[in-house]
Amino acid sequence: MKGFTSLVVAFVWILSAGTAWGQHTVAQIDKQFAPGDLTVKVGDTVTFTNDDPYFHNVFSMSEAKTFDLGNFPSGEERSVTFDKPGTVDIECTIHPLMNMTITVEE
C-alpha cells in the first residue's frame, strides 16, 4: 500500500509539473515583447497579453508556425500552441519594430 501511495503522489506531481511546463506568458508592454526570447516544447501554449494602452497584433510567417492572432486591444490576450519544432519569429503588424523569437524544442 505504501508503494501504491508513492506511485499516486509521483503521478500527481508529474501531472501538475506538466501543466506548468506547457503554459507560457509573453507580455506586450512599452511596444516590446517581454521576454524577447523564449524556449518552449512542442505542444506548449504561449499566451500573449496586451499590457499597453493601445492595440497590438501577433503574427508569424515562420515555417515552424505560421499564424496571425489579429489585432486586439489593451487588457486582452490571445494564445497560440506550437506543434512543430523550429524557430518562430514573432512580430506585430502595428509596430514593425516589435519582434521576438520563440524556439520550439522536440
Positions in the binding site for Cu ion (CB under 5 A): 56, 92, 94-95, 98
Closest approach of Cu ion to the CB of residue 2, in Å? 55
What are the start-end ranges of the E strands in 1-106?
23-29, 32-34, 37-41, 45-50, 56-62, 65-72, 77-81, 86-91, 99-105
Closest approach of Cu ion to the CB of residue 90, in Å? 11
Q: Which is nearer to Cu ion, 69 or 95 (CB)?
A: 95
Given a contact cutoff of 8 angstroms between Cβ atoms, the answer to whether 85 and 105 are in contact is: yes
Task: Report in angstroms the alpha-carbon separations of 69 from 20, 57, 90.
Answer: 23, 7, 11
Q: Which is nearer to Cu ion, 71 or 103 (CB)?
A: 71
Q: Which is nearer to Cu ion, 67 or 86 (CB)?
A: 67
Q: Which is nearer to Cu ion, 14 or 94 (CB)?
A: 94
Closest approach of Cu ion to the CB of residue 100, in Å? 11
Closest approach of Cu ion to the CB of residue 31, in Å? 6
Instruction: List b or e across 26-35, with b for residues whose CB sees 16 or more CB atoms inside 10 angstroms.
Output: bbbeeebbee
